[in-house]
Every structure is written in structure tokens, then in C-alpha cells.
Amino acid sequence: MLSPTTKRASLLASGAAVAGLLLSSLSGGVSYAADNESCRPDGLYKTPGVDVPYCSVYDAEGREKMGADHQRRVIGYFTGWRTGKNGQDAYLADDIPWDKITHINYAFAHVDAANKVSVGADGPNNAATGMTWPGVAGAEMDPAFPYKGHFNQLNKFKKQHPDVKTLISVGGWAETGGYFDESGKRVGSGGFYTMATNADGSVNQAGINTFADSAVDFIKKYGFNGVDIDYEYPTSMKDAGHPADFPISNARRAGLNKGYAALMKTLREKLDRAGAADGKHYLLTVAAPSSGYLLRGMETFQVQKYLDYVNIMSYDLHGAWNEYVGPNASLFDDGKDAELAAANVYGSAQYGGIGYLNTDWAYHYFRGSMPAGRINIGLPYYTRGHKNVQGGTDGLWGKAAASSCPAGSGLTKCGDGAVGIDNLWHDKDDNGVESPAGSNPMWHAKNLEKGIVGDYVTQYGFPANTQLTGTYARKYDSTLVAPWLWNAQKKVFLSTEDEQSVAKKADYVVDRGIGGTMVWEMAGDYAWNAAKGQYEAGSTLTSLMYDKFKTAAPYGAKKSNKALPAEAVDIAVDFTEFKLGDSNYPITPKLKITNNTATALPGGTEFQFDYSTAAPANASDQSGFGTKVISSDHTGGNVGGLKGDFHRVSLKLPAWQTLAPGATVDLSFNYYLPVSTPSNWTVNISGKTYALAGDLARGTKVVEPGSGTTPTTPPTTEPPTGCTAPAYVAGTVYNAGNEVSHKGRKWKAQWWTQNQEPGTTGEWGVWKDLGAC
């Protein structure tokens, strides 16, 4: 989530470019004992040798237990800075709709200078552990706890609502690479960047161990159920994240993904060991980007296997970091996104006409590697907006260019963000000047819509007699599932959420078996105060989701939509050698297949896997493995949503390629839109199909293939009769599988080639001799 003063976007969150179909690694797995293993969620990594008490949190189907009336998650971020001590209205633990939610993420803790989790020094001004609210009903301290502040309050109300889980969220937009000291000054300590990654790009395992140990100690001390990591961002894309961090983060771009993976693995293992000792499973979650630009530089988000669930930040998809005026968090694409159109996304065959700045695309990105129930979509309880909008339909898909950008933004060209009464939270730039963003709590946007000037405006620097200019007309696009306010007189566009859009998103969650929703942040929700005649902070949208979810069917708990083999073999598939940053399109990572069994794999052995329909069905290889998409749940563009989850891919070891025990072979792929780690792998060995242990599927037994003996000689190919293949032409590009005739013989290309004459490349070269013709 983002700023410790207000919800702020990554200035690069929407990105203009898209990347290749990113694939990631599956490591070898092990089989587990029954009992707690029977409750382990599908695909969740288990620390070897540890009896993790999954059944304390999950049922026998691997679904999270959240109470009889909570079939889906409603996760709310609760911030530490709305204390009421700054003259503005407070939002305290008593204001949380405890009976409507399932999880609370406290925002934020940070990584301190010693690489430990911290919320700052204890004391009466520490909102988390020391502050009190004398005379405020509901804010009385519980003397059973040795600390005060929000943490005391959260645990007090958890006694009354034992099904609600709390997590400490570490990081955020402004505290990923540093933290705020007691005076409110930001200290650029390096934060996640230096804790997880050394200056030379190598993994800082010592820093990670210190952090993970402190995280375990922290949640035990303050009664949290787990840790939520909000690292913005471990991507190889240059200038991503907070501009103040660029001197530290950009120098480490090549190693950020490795550091992130090591961090999440270490956290998972230390939380598992602590949970086994304490008899309760501790949750590990992340706030994940939804931007195709950021995900392009995160390889295949291979940390997903360590997470109980992922919360997608499926908002900040458009905003004042550029001139393109569009929805903050549309559910679907409409084929008209001006930013995507400018990048020729709709016109390029490589992209398949798929628009990638919407919630549905982001959900499908993660669905390729996780069960639907381990994914939660994000909803914003705040607005974003522009002023001086030109063109578009009631501002939608218009443009609003700014003459200058906020200080410290790292941008040279940005959008003309709304200000004043249309920017109630008044974010400040590095010079203390209001940063234009159109950023408002949703309750203020509702008052603008109704032409009401709430009595709270004096708390935000406006006089009591403030008058609104123009009318804020509510608009709605049913294809996008996006409402907005349009002030035609001021040319102001404010992207909003309300009952209509949230109801549609809740139906989307129910219909697709998704785990639930996450909201940033609860203080932005609204309710009507009839006595005052104005909207104020409330729980209208949260209650709507609760009502939709309480009678829903259980969420989807399996990664695959089809039955997979119950027996698995230990063959590892790892996607490596990703190019960095803006050099990574199109991406051609290496897929390394390692045979960890005691059985040789014969030539022609077929592997199959699924990857997400967030990318078009055009994956291919250049290495002679015959990679092809053999089935697709969705084809064409994605206006109104992607219709299915997976493309199924087949590849085969070349006929001449035997893979001995312990041996590795690699091949190069091409992809054109990012997806997360491909899953649902199978391998056919001598006529029998197995799963792969690295998929971490529930109920899978790891076995040795067959009887342990397989043919070691590659199968032969019968020579063709007659030179029916086209003649070889020098200079022509030939791809894997292309056949030609040359000098009375037939030849087959094993991978991409140009100007390599058949008969000159040797037995193991690109051209395979198929015999005389």
C-alpha cells in the first residue's frame, strides 16, 4: 500500500511497456505425512522436516477457516497515522467493522537500520505501542497487555472477534527503502533493498536472517497472526518505487528478485518452525503489484509458493503520474484505454489485443500459478483524478498534461492532477507543496457527488463557508465496471468506487472462486449521517462485500481445473537467465530441466504445463523442443474479461536427447505478456504420466518412474520417401520443426537457424538428418 501519510501510487505503476511471458522456477518437492499435511493449501511450500500445524488455520480441503459467515476474505488495511492527534478525525480500532471483515493488516512497520522489524521507539507518542485516547469511548486500554496504542486495541477487539486475524504489514511506498524517525523525517536507510540484497547484487542472507528472526519475535510479542510484506518494488525495471530510493535500488536491480525470493523462503521457513513450536500456523502474505510494467521485471513472481495468499494492488492503474485519464481500478478492459492505445497494445499481434491495466488481467496473472482461493483482489477506498482534462467522454480516456512535475517525483513528464477541494488529503512534495493527485477518501467523493460541503473541511485547511464550483456528475461504464465524477465546468475527473462497482467486483470474486478482497484503506469507506446531512467514514462498501460473501460457495482450492496424476517425480524445471529492465522485451529466459530421479529420460519425453491467459497463446521456443500451445481457455482480446484461466503447452526432449539421472538440459523461450510461475506440470515417461514434485500439489506421492529402467537409446526415425519437403534456401530463417530437402536428403531444424547449410552442422548441430529421399 503505500504512503504513511496517505495512499500514494508508484509513479511508474502503470508503465507504458509490456514484457514477455515470464516463466519461473519449480523446485523439487517431497511427500508429507498425513494429519497436518491434509490441511496444507494446494501449492504451498512446506519447510522440510517441520510438522507445520496447518489444521489450526485450514480445513481438510486446504481452505482457510474464517468463521461460518465468512466464505471469502475481506482484508482491511488499518493505518497507524489516523490517530486524531493532528486535528483531523481519528479512525481507531473501535471504528473497524469487526463483524464484517476477516483480516486486518496494520500499516506500517518498517525495516530499521539494524535490519529488524520496527514501529519506532516506545513512548506515549508511538501510535502503535504507546499512545492512548483518554475519554474516547471504545478506545480504553486493556490492562492485560503490557503495551498500549493500536496494538493493545487490536488485541482487545480480537478477544471479542476471535475469527479475525491480524497481520503486521512491513514496508509500503514510502518505507520500502527507509523509515520515518520520531521527528517525522524520512531516513533513507536502504530498508528492504539493502536488507535483502548486497551492493554487488548478491543475496544478503545475514540481513534476511536478522529480519526474519525479528519478524517472528515481533508477531509473538504483539499478538499478530502473521506477516504481510509490502516491498515496493523488487523489480529489475529502472526507476521503480520511491524516487528517494533510486540511488540504492537502481544499483541493485540485477539482484532484487533473488533477494526477494531468498527473503520469502527464509520467512516461510522461520514462521513454519515457530508455528510448529507454538502449535499454530503463522501466515505469510504480500501486497503484489498489478502493473504489467513492474511485473515484467519480477521474472515469474516465483515467491508465490511461499505465500498463504497474495493481495493484488489492483488499483493505481491510472493517475497523475502521466497524462492519460482513466479509471483507478477498473475490473475489465474496454479496448479503448488511451495509454495502451498509445503503446499500440491493441494493434500488435504479439500482445494478442490483451489490455493489461485492469483487475481481471492482474487476477489471471496470478491465477496461472495459484489456486483462485489464494488470491485476493484489491479495491481502493480512495479516488485519483486529473484537472484540465481535454477530450474523452466525460473525461474518460481524455488527456491532462502538466507543465511541470512534483519535486522528487523522478518524472520529467506527468499528468495534471486535481488539487484543492478535489485533493482533500493534500499530499505534499519534497518542498512541502501540495502534490496534485485527486486523492480523496471515498466519503468525501460522495459528498462532492451530492454537492455537499462537509463540516470536516476546516480540518483540511478550507474555510467553513467553502462553496463548490460546478457539479460533480456521477458517470459509470458497465464494460469497465468503473464509476467516476465529472465536473464539466472545472474539467475535473475523479475516479471512484461505490455500491454498484463494488457489488460487481464482489460478484466477480464469488463467480470465479477467488479468495476474497483486500481494501486500502478502511478509513475511506463511507456512511450517511442523516443528522448532519453528510457522508462520513463508515462501512457501507465493506458491509456490501460481507453480505455478498457470507452465503457464497467455498472458494477454489485447487491450482488445476483438471485432475492431475497422484504420483509425482522429482524433475526440476527452473526458468533462469532473465534479461534486466528495459532490455527484457521480448524475454527469452532459459528453461532448465533437471532430472533428479534415478531413471534416464528417453528422447521424445513429453512435458506439459499451464500458463495464464493473461498472456496470449503464442509461447514458443528456439531450441528444437517443439514447444506449442495445445489448448486454450481463452483466445483473442479481453474486452469484458478473460474467459478462462489457462493455456496448455507441450514440449518434448529432442528425439536424440536422452536426459540421464542428474543431468540438465535447457531451452530458450519467447513470451509476450508477463505471467506468473507456470503450473500443473506433467511428464510422460515411457507411456505413464506423472506430476512434478515441484508443483507442491496436495496428496501427491513422490515416486521413482516405472521400474527404474528405461531405454537409453533414442528412438529412430524412418527415412521419408521422395523429396517432398521444400528445398533449402540460403538466408531463409528456419524455426524448430521446419523440414527441408537438400542434396538428396531430408533435414529437420532442431531450433531457430539462418545460413547454416544442412549437412555441415554435424551430428549434434541444428539440422537433423532424416535420411535419403
321, 478 contact by CB (below 8 A) = no
Which DSSP string corresponds to 370-408?
A: S-GGGEEEEEESB-EEESS-BSSBTTBT-B-B-SS--TT
pLDDT of residue 33: 43
Tell me what the mean pLDDT of segment 688-716 comes to.
Answer: 75
Q: For the chain, what percent of residues have pLDDT higher than 90? A: 79
Q: Tell me how far apart the alpha carbons of residues 256 and 287 are, in angstroms, rounded to a whole number.
A: 16
- pLDDT for 764 equals 65
pLDDT grade, residue 719 (50/70/90)? very low
pLDDT value at position 393? 98
Looking at residue 196, its pLDDT comes to 98
pTM above 0.75, yes or no: yes
Report the pLDDT averaged over residues 622-628. 89
Domain boundaries, the chain: 35-549, 567-702, 733-772
Residue 712 reports pLDDT greater than 50: no
What angle, rounded to 10 degrees, do the helices at 205-222 and 253-278 form? Answer: 40
Confidence of residue 691 (pLDDT cuts 50, 70, 90): very high
Identify the weakest region by mean pLDDT among 189-203, 473-487, 575-589.
575-589
Counting every residue, how long is the chain?
Answer: 773
pLDDT at 428: 77
Predicted local distance difference test score (pLDDT) of residue 413? 87
All residues at 6 or more sequence positions from 762 whose CB lies less than 8 Å from its CB, including other chains: none
Cα dihedral angle (383, 387, 391, 395), rounded to 10 degrees? 30
pLDDT of residue 498: 98
Cα four-point dihedral sign 757, 763, 769, 771: positive
| Whether residue 505 has pLDDT greater than 80 | yes
Confirm if 131 and 175 have CB atoms less than 8 A apart. no
- Is a pLDDT exceeding 50 seen at residue 22? no
Q: What is the pLDDT of residues 123-175, one digit of tens each?
A: 999 999 999 999 999 999 999 999 999 999 999 999 999 999 999 999 999 99
- Per-residue pLDDT tens over the stretch 476-501: 999 999 999 999 999 999 999 999 99
Task: Give the residue-averaged pLDDT of 428-445.
Answer: 89
Q: Residue 21's closest CA among 636, 585, 579?
A: 585
Residues of the chain above pLDDT 70, percent: 93
Average of pLDDT values for 265-282? 98
| Cα 74–Cα 484–Cα 243 angle in degrees, nearest 5 | 75
Higher pLDDT residue, 739 or 394? 394
Q: Is 162 exposed, middle or buried (0-12, 13-18, 19+ CB in 10 A)?
A: exposed
- Which pairing describes strands 646-652 and 606-612: parallel, antiparallel, or unpaired? antiparallel
Residue with cell 488485541: 155
For residue range 304-316, list pLDDT tens digits in order. Answer: 999 999 999 999 9
Highest-confidence segment of 521-525, 745-749, 752-756: 521-525
pLDDT attached to residue 303: 98
Q: Which CATH number fits domain 567-702: 2.60.40, 1.10.10, 3.40.50, 2.30.30?
A: 2.60.40
Query: What does the mean pLDDT of the chain come to?
Result: 91
H/E/C letters for each residue in 266-326? HHHHHHHHHHHHHCCCCEEEEEEECCHHHHHCCCCCHHHHHCCEEEEECCCCCCCCCCECC
Per residue in 34-90, pLDDT (tens digit) is: 489 999 999 999 999 999 999 999 999 999 999 999 999 999 999 999 999 988 899
Reference 100, options 120, 72, 121; nearest CA is: 72
Mean pLDDT computed over 264-268: 98
pLDDT in tens, 99-120: 999 999 999 999 999 999 999 9
- CA-to-CA distance for 652 and 606, rounded, in angstroms? 4
Rounded Cα gap, residues 549 and 572, in angstroms: 39
Report whether 190 contacts 129 (CB < 8 A): no
Q: What is the pLDDT of residue 12?
A: 31
Q: Please, which pLDDT band fits residue 711 given cuts at 50, 70 and 90?
A: very low
Of 196-200, 404-408, 446-450, the range with the lowest mean pLDDT is 404-408
- At residue 501, the pLDDT reads 98
Which superfamily, per CATH, for 733-772?
Carbohydrate-binding module superfamily 5/12 (2.10.10.20)
Q: What pLDDT shows up at residue 587?
A: 74
pLDDT at 735 over 80: no
Residue whose C-alpha cell is 500514494: 8
* Residue-level pLDDT at 28: 39
Residue 671's pLDDT is 81
DSSP-based helix, strand, coil % in the chain, nearest 5? 20, 25, 55
Closest CA to 630 of 610, 655, 607, 649: 649
pLDDT of residue 722: 55
- Our separate counts of H helices and E strands in the chain read 11, 33
CB half-sphere exposure, 106, CA atoms < 13 A:
30
Residue 9 DSSP SS3: coil
What's the pLDDT tens digit per position in 218-227? Answer: 999 999 999 9
Residue 195 three-state SS: helix
Q: What is the pLDDT of residue 736?
A: 73
Which fold, 35-549? Answer: TIM Barrel (3.20.20)
